[in-house]
Amino acid sequence: MVVMMMKKMEPRLLAIMFMAALFFPSFVHSLVRHYKFSVVLKNTTKLCSTKSFVTVNGQFPGPTIHAREDDTVIVRVTNHVPYNVTLHWHGIKQFRSGWYDGPAYVTQCPIQPGQSYIYNFTITDQRGTLWWHAHITWLRATVHGAIVILPKRGIPYPFPKPDDEKIIVLGEWWKSDVEAVVDEATKSGGPPNISDAHTINGHPGPVAGCIFQGYTLHVESGKTYLLRIVNAALNDELFFKIAGHKLTVVEADASYVKPFEIDTIFLSPGQTTNVLLTANQPVGKYLIAITPFMDAPIGFDNLTATATLRYKGTPPYSKTMLSTIPAVNATEVTFRFIDSLRSINTNTYPARVPLTIDHDLFFAITVGVNPCDTCLQGIRIASAINNITFVMPTTSLLEANYYNIPGVFTEDFPPRPPMVFDYTGVQPTNLQSNNGTKLYRVKFNSSVQLVLQGTAMIAPENHPFHLHGYNFFVVGQGLGNFDPEKDPLTFNLVDPVERNTIGVPNAGWAAIRFRADNPGVWFLHCHLEVHTTWGLKMAFVVDNGEGPNESLLPPPPDLPKC
């Protein structure tokens, strides 16, 4: 529930504020928005199977946060479940407010059962669709929801104003307890069981052997709708398509893009996309489908989730118009979508791409195996960046850095792989990595270029990487091994798309740039939860700049303790 501060004020003060608003409109441009999140268990039946699972306020997906650019959002989170909990505000830059970013043992210790924590952050220079989710173990499977950030009051969208807006959250569903799935995989050392279905706004739709009513998107002929689409799935990249309708893409990861029309959009876990949908087809029912994308020889949930777009005035029992869905390995469909994304790059919304580089980093992404004395087979699958499998500490990295606590982490994360090899070709015979809690430190306002290189170790696969605390510009992507001499010549430094999560293509690479102007400790990790669990993660330490406006704020008094 959101409560505006103005509702609690005395009538006389409200009158003064009203007069001030008449003569000084900017006075009311920003608000403080309060939410109460109770993390609770709920019983539900899906896929003809009942289970208890973790939710916020008993909702799945969880409640939507609504705000405007420059608003302050305060969320009181109370943990009523037997698990430790943290919440991450995915894509919120958290300028100088890293204590509220949320990843467990990175910027905070978890909220323990029976405890509360107040997240308090201001939305600066952002507008669009983001989302929030749990950021500890695999709880985000059901603990997630959308964040809708409207432009400042009086500032229009840079595209035709829609008649209405709809939120569509895509997810995955396990019949089993998700935490038990992770525990079993940890004990075995192998991969976890795949999900049993995909969901659209919490509904899997009908599946074989279980008829279940899916989600219905109601529209009226002639109207245009802004669809705010979130991929909250744990491990699956997804296609989204509506039969008989074109979609106009206007935003990605809360950054405006040059509009383009397409029939299928593609989202990696963690990504958001806003599209305009015009209800310009004959009255009737039309199939909405989400299907997985996978072009690697590994196990995945290959089920299609369906919903229905229904026009007002559709007769009962009308036949649903169907559509051709992309092949599961339709790489060309993913490239067509990704290659169309370009920053809007206007005077109002410029693309401030760093043109000079202070830190030139090259991260090789690998999936190998390490010895494991407690695992059933004696080995455990391990993921690594530059041969470092990241080990989470038992206290917060941000606190350790802020208070100069020794022994929690080292600052020797390698900027390049320890060994150069044919990353997408013949692989080394040694598939082991080194464990460590290693960070990479950069000075305030440094410019960073990071090339994320996929490899063919064990099996090549897509890797959606998310950087906390920042947006970045995707200046280049390609297949095969990155060529440091030739590939930078093709970089887009004019209008590259601005994102917070980037899909590194199967057996390929992606190059991003960002300016490190936000002090704190910021997590970088694969947003396939299975890979994060295996250690595919690291963190940057960004130093304070000059003066208090370029420095991390002090920790809040209610910061959870480990």
pLDDT tens across 247-278, in order?
Answer: 999 999 999 999 999 999 999 999 999 999 99
pLDDT on residue 427? 86
**pLDDT over 60 (residue 171):** yes
**pLDDT (0 to 100) of residue 24:** 44
Q: What is the pLDDT of residue 96?
A: 97
- Rounded to an integer, the average pLDDT of 216-231 is 98
Residues 116 and 216 in one domain: no
14 domain-assigned: no
pLDDT value for 180: 94
Arithmetic mean of pLDDT, 294-315: 88
| 365 and 305 fall within a common domain | no
* Rg (alpha carbons) of the chain, rounded to whole number: 23
Write out the two tokens for 93. Answer: 């830059």
Distances (CA, A) of 212 to 119, 197, 202, 206, 530: 37, 12, 12, 5, 28
Say whether pLDDT at 550 is over 60.
yes
Q: How many domains does the chain have?
A: 3
Banded pLDDT at 12 (limits 50, 70, 90): very low
In terms of domains, do 37 and 171 share one? no
Q: Do 31 and 65 form a contact (C-beta atoms < 8 A)?
A: no
Average pLDDT taken over every residue of the chain = 93
pLDDT bin (cut points 50, 70, 90) of residue 443 is: very high
Same domain as 202, residue 334? yes
Residues 140 and 222 in one domain: no
What pLDDT is stored for residue 236 in this prediction?
95
Average pLDDT over residues 498-502: 98
Three-class HEC string of 188-206 = HCCCCCCCCEEEECCECCC
Distance CA 271, CA 179 (A): 23
List pLDDT tens digits, range 355-390: 999 999 999 999 999 999 999 889 999 999 999 999
Same domain? For 510 and 476 the reply is yes
* Same-domain status, 258 and 399: no
Split at pLDDT 50, 70, 90, the class of 28 is low
Residue 404: Cβ-neighbour burial (10 angstroms; 0-12, 13-18, 19+): exposed
Last-in-domain residue among 113, 134, 157? 157
| Confidence band for 460, pLDDT divided at 50, 70 and 90 | confident
Q: How far is the C-alpha of 35 from the C-alpha of 525, rounded, in Å? A: 28
C-alpha–C-alpha distance, residues 147 and 549, integer Å: 26
8 Å CB contact between 337 and 331 = no
Q: Is residue 289 a contact partner of residue 241, using CB atoms and an 8 Å limit?
A: yes
Residues 152 and 177 in one domain: no
What is the distance between the alpha carbons of residues 469 and 215, in angstroms, rounded to a whole number?
33
Whether residue 373 sits in one domain with residue 337: no
> DSSP for 49-92?
EEEEEEEETTBSS-PPEEEETT-EEEEEEEE-SSS-B-EEEET-
Instruction: Specify the pLDDT at position 461.
Output: 85
With respect to residue 197, please indicate whether it lies within any of the assigned structural domains: yes
Residue 25, domain member (yes or no) = no
**492-512: average pLDDT:** 97
Q: Give pLDDT, residue 303.
A: 86
Least confident of 181-185, 262-266, 285-289: 181-185
Whether 4 is covered by a domain: the verdict is no
d(CA 103, CA 471): 17
Q: Which of 139, 78, 74, 126 is nearest to 100 (CA)?
A: 74
Q: Which two tokens stand for residue 153?
A: 């009051």
pLDDT band at 450 (very low <50, low <70, confident <90, very high): very high
pLDDT average, residue stretch 165-182: 96
| Together in a domain, 451 and 339 | no
Cβ atoms of residues 161 and 145 within 8 Å: no
Where among 112, 139, 157 does a domain terminate? 157
Q: How much of the chain, in percent, has pLDDT values that exceed 90? A: 88
Q: Domain limits at 180? A: 159-343
Is there a domain that residue 350 lies in?
no
Is the per-residue pLDDT at 13 higher than 60?
no
Report whether pLDDT(522) > 60. Answer: yes
Q: How many other C-beta atoms are found inside a 10 Å radius of the C-beta of residue 381? A: 22
Q: Say which range, 280-284, 287-291, 422-426, 546-550, has the weakest mean pLDDT.
A: 422-426
Q: What is the pLDDT of residue 9?
A: 39
For residues 285-292, give the mean pLDDT: 96
Q: Residue 540 pLDDT > 50, yes or no?
A: yes
Q: Please report the pLDDT score of residue 108 as a whole number.
A: 98
> To the nearest whole percent, how much of the chain has pLDDT over 70?
95
Single residue among 292, 310, 343 that ends a domain in this structure: 343
**Within a domain: residue 531?**
yes
Q: What is the pLDDT of residue 3?
A: 42
Same-domain status, 153 and 171? no
Burial of 134 (0-12, 13-18, 19+ CB in 10 A): buried
Q: Is 506 among the domain residues?
A: yes
- pLDDT at position 4, please? 39
Q: What is the reported pLDDT for 208?
A: 79
Q: What is the DSSP string of 444-499?
A: TTEEEEEEEEE--SSS---EEEEETT--EEEEEEEESS--TTTGGGG---SS--EE
Q: Is residue 8 part of a domain?
A: no
> 391 or 205: whose pLDDT is higher?
391
> Using one digit for the tens of pLDDT, what is the confidence trace for 29-53?
789 999 999 999 999 999 999 999 9
CA distances to 82, 103, 266, 404 from 107, rounded to whole Å, are 22, 6, 31, 14
| CATH number, residue 249 | 2.60.40.420
pLDDT band at 10 (very low <50, low <70, confident <90, very high): very low
Q: Are residues 328 and 386 in the same domain?
A: no
Predicted confidence at residue 294, as pLDDT, reads 87
**Mean pLDDT of the region 96-104:** 98
